[in-house]
């Protein structure tokens, strides 16, 4: 009995990515697999159990992510695409994630007016897995075909052709990086995710290190405890601490002058007792206009805090977002090669 072609589930938003979805379906077929999308599910709004069943039956899942978050699923209140991502990830399905390049032209009508949710999702993907960027339908078609060709070929091999001897492979170690900052550096937080993505593209193969960014945006909400307590409980252990400040010091908590300061103090306390995490702090020197006394007070607190850190040798400065992204990337490359950092990882 002939072996069925591998099934590839394709997840994307609907109208804005129609042409791109067609390109991916074509690439999947050319690679020797069967494309599955919500368009060839049963008629009507896809029920969660139906989508879950199709993902369960898929051999791999492809995500095409543009600049729309999409329709939300009624139970989770997350977009169908993010809902499908969580199902696929929980099922440990092979994931191929393709993001529209921020620098590529994109129709304004297909860009969310409020980009908060789609940007958070894009950042989450770049932090969780190795992603590839595309700038057009042809570019995406070639990238998907290239990614799937080896995967489909491996699945198609009969059992007897698989070598019995296991090929030596590199062990991948997860390095958890806690990203801490007030709310006025959203762009810089996204830049960290991009720098981490660039790092992971090379480092996984070169040194077996994969950096996982830990951010408050990814924490599950909880009613009752103070917000910072909810965040602290979910942070868990981490190997690196990256703080960022510009003009805002942050909102005071019950035990510190701000949430960022509380997280920094906890990192310092852990370092003093256990020799970890590796701590860095970045300050933006970009000019800003202040129009209220509260803004001036916040900036004063930032400057006072920066003065305290100068003596610890962990302060870095930058002006632009591009400069910061490059600075973070280069620092990650340097830090992860320092023997002291490697020993810290080896010690757990």
The pLDDT tens digits for 230-239 are: 455 555 688 9
Question: Degrees (nearest 5) of the Cα angle 51, 54, 57?
Answer: 150
What stretches of 66-202 adopt beta strand conformation (E)?
95-100, 131-134, 173-180
Please compute the mean of the pLDDT values over residues 315-322 and round it to a whole number: 90
Q: In this structure, are 297 and 152 located in the same domain? A: no
- pLDDT band of residue 40 (cuts 50, 70, 90) is low
- Cis status of the peptide bond prior to 277, with omega within 30 of 0: yes
Cα–Cα distance, 330 to 128 (Å, whole number): 20
| Residue 285 pLDDT > 90 | yes
Residue 233, pLDDT score: 57
Long-range contacts of 203-210 (CB under 8 A, 24+ apart): 203/333, 203/336, 204/130, 204/172, 205/170, 207/336, 207/337, 208/170, 208/171, 208/172, 208/173, 209/172, 209/173, 209/175, 209/336, 210/172, 210/173, 210/174, 210/175
Q: In this structure, are 141 and 181 located in the same domain? A: no
157 φ, ψ to 5°?
-65, 130
- pLDDT band of residue 300 (cuts 50, 70, 90) is very high
Residue 347, pLDDT score: 78
**CATH code: domain of residue 60:** 3.40.50.10140
Q: In this structure, are 136 and 259 located in the same domain? A: no
Please compute the mean of the pLDDT values over residues 285-301 and round it to a whole number: 93
| Residue 169 pLDDT > 50 | yes
Enclosing domain of residue 286: 173-346
The pLDDT tens digits for 258-280 are: 889 999 999 999 999 988 899 99
The pLDDT tens digits for 242-258 are: 999 999 998 888 888 88
Q: In this structure, are 15 and 156 located in the same domain? A: yes
Number of domains in the chain: 2
Q: In this structure, are 142 and 209 located in the same domain? A: no
Q: In this structure, are 49 and 184 located in the same domain? A: no
Q: Are 117 and 69 in contact (CB under 8 A)?
A: yes
Q: In this structure, are 41 and 156 located in the same domain? A: yes
- pLDDT band of residue 303 (cuts 50, 70, 90) is very high
Most confident listed range (60-69, 158-167, 229-238)? 60-69
The C-alpha torsion from 20 through 23 and 27 to 33, rounded to 10°, is 80
Q: Are 300 and 264 in contact (CB under 8 A)?
A: no
- pLDDT: is 146 or 60 the higher one? 60
| Residue 197 pLDDT > 80 | yes
Q: In this structure, are 301 and 157 located in the same domain? A: no
Q: In this structure, are 139 and 100 located in the same domain? A: yes
Please compute the mean of the pLDDT values over residues 135-164 and round it to a whole number: 71
The token pair at 308 is 């305290």
Residue 232, pLDDT score: 54
- pLDDT band of residue 226 (cuts 50, 70, 90) is very low
Residue 142, pLDDT score: 85
What percentage of the chain carries pLDDT values higher than 90?
Answer: 39
| Residue 228 pLDDT > 50 | no
Q: In this structure, are 151 and 182 located in the same domain? A: no
Question: pTM value?
Answer: 0.53
How high does pLDDT run on average in the chain? 83
Cα–Cα distance, 337 to 207 (Å, whole number): 9
Q: Is residue 168 one of the residues assigned to a domain? A: no
Residue 36, pLDDT score: 87
Q: Is residue 166 one of the residues assigned to a domain? A: no
| Residue 159 pLDDT > 90 | no
Cα–Cα distance, 47 to 333 (Å, whole number): 45
């Amino acid at each position: 009995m002939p072996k069925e072609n591998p099934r590839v589930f394709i997840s994307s938003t609907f109208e804005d990515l129609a042409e791109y979805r067609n390109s991916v379906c074509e690439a999947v077929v050319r690679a020797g697999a069967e494309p599955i999308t919500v368009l060839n599910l049963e008629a009507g709004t896809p029920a969660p159990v139906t989508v879950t069943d199709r993902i369960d039956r898929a051999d791999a899942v492809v995500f095409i992510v543009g600049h729309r978050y999409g329709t939300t699923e009624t139970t989770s209140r997350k977009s169908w695409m993010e809902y499908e991502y969580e199902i696929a990830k929980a099922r440990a399905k092979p994931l191929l994630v393709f993001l529209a390049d921020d620098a590529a032209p994109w129709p304004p009508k297909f860009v969310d007016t409020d980009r908060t949710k789609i940007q958070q999702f894009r950042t989450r993907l770049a932090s969780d897995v190795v992603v590839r960027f595309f700038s057009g339908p042809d570019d995406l078609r070639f990238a998907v075909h290239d990614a799937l060709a080896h995967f489909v070929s491996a699945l198609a091999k009969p059992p007897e052709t698989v070598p019995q001897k296991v090929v030596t492979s590199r062990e991948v170690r997860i390095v958890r990086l806690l990203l801490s900052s007030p709310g006025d550096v959203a762009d810089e937080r996204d830049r960290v995710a991009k720098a981490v993505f660039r790092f992971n593209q090379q480092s996984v193969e070169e040194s077996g290190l994969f950096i996982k960014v830990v951010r408050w945006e990814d924490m599950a909400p909880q009613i009752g405890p103070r917000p910072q307590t909810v965040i602290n409980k979910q942070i868990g252990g981490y190997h690196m601490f990256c703080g960022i400040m510009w003009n805002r010091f942050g909102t005071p908590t019950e035990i510190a002058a701000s949430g960022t300061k509380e997280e920094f103090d906890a990192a310092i306390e852990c370092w003093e007792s256990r020799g970890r995490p590796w701590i860095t702090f970045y300050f933006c020197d970009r000019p800003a206009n202040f129009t209220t006394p509260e803004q001036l007070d916040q900036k004063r607190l930032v400057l006072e805090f920066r003065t305290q850190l100068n003596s610890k040798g962990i302060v870095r400065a930058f002006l632009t977002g591009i400069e910061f992204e490059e600075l973070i990337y280069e620092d990650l490359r340097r830090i992860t090669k320092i023997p002291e950092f490697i020993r810290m990882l080896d010690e757990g």
